[in-house]
Amino acid sequence: MTTTNIDIHHHMLPTFYVEALAAAGHDVSDLPEWTPEGSLALMDALGIEKAILSVPSPGTSDPELARSLNEYAAELRDAYPGRFGAFAVVPFPDVEASISEVDHALGELGLDGVSLFSNEGGAYLGDPEYDAILAELDRHSATVFVHANDRPGVEDSAGSNPFAEYPTDIARAYARLVYSHAFTRFPRIRWIFANAGGVVPFLAERIGKLHYLNGKKVRWGRVIVDLVTKRNSGLDLAKAVSYDTADACTRFTLRALHRLVEPEQILFGSNAPFADKARIESSIARLDAA
């Protein structure tokens, strides 16, 4: 299997989702047009066998809309066998509704995992009040795909958010997961961080130091054990997760990823339909060259 046979970062934009965003006051004027047939044509042109669909930013905190999106994704999977899978959307940060939707999407619909955003209205993955959601994901041994989202109070200056704030916010979410010891407390979750983890590969050792903290106190016992066993558990956490290549197929980013993780942890992502055919072709060429 080639590196690009499965596209794990491929967005769906069904009409009812776009209409819901517009009704909630979001500007949808710059969203690309999307149809399942368009995705399939793009995939065929690029030699992509299967796409794992997910909902792009900003997602939704509406339980009914999340349920409708997940059932729609399951219908597409069934209508086009072998071509589509899906990461479920959950109404984070609503804890009870999110737990219910995780169980429905993974247990009843059999979707491939769950897509969670780095933050939702300022609520971050890794914050202790959302442990129950992570516990449910752990119970399902779920794959969790972490995608960036806008951060409240940060204005988009001339469209810079996707280029500067998104990769930074993925690292914020990752850092909170390290600090809360979520990776070790919920070991059955399989994590994938979009866009090469943002700035995580460059800051992995620095962020990893949070692994040794408990509040403002240093856990010296953990430090000593890792010194004796010649481990760097903070960095080991970054080495234990996977990263996709959507909007991240630059030589410096790919070099950082190759130094951090094994090749099988670097997963192809296209960011379709936000990335067009020419841009995705260029990314594939850079990935192959690396």
Read off the CATH number of the domain in which 119 is found: 3.20.20.140
Give the dihedral of Cα atoms 154, 156, 157, 158; nearest 10 deg: 170
User: In the prediction, which pLDDT does 15 show?
Assistant: 97
When divided into structural domains, the chain yields a total of: 1
User: Is there a contact between 69 and 104 (Cβ–Cβ < 8 Å)?
Assistant: no
Domain that holds residue 279: 6-289
Residue with tokens 């983890």, as numbered in its chain = 197
Q: What is the pTM of this model?
A: 0.94
**3-class SS at 52?**
strand
pLDDT of residue 152: 81
Q: Is residue 240 part of a domain?
A: yes
- The answer to the question of residue 12 being in a domain is yes
| Inside any domain, residue 1 | no
Angle at 88 (CA atoms; ends 118, 43), nearest 5 degrees: 100
Say if 133 falls within a structural domain: yes
Q: What is the pLDDT of residue 276?
A: 94
Residues (pLDDT < 70) of the chain are 1-4, 156-158
* 176 lies in some domain: yes
Burial grade of 256 (CB within 10 A; 0-12, 13-18, 19 or more): buried
* Cβ 4 vs Cβ 47: under 8 Å: yes
* Closest by CA position to 52, among listed 249, 192, 179, 151: 192
The answer as to whether 223 is a domain residue is yes
Omega of the bond prior to 14 within 30 degrees of 0, cis? no
> Looking at residue 1, what is its pLDDT?
39
Three-state secondary structure call for residue 209: helix
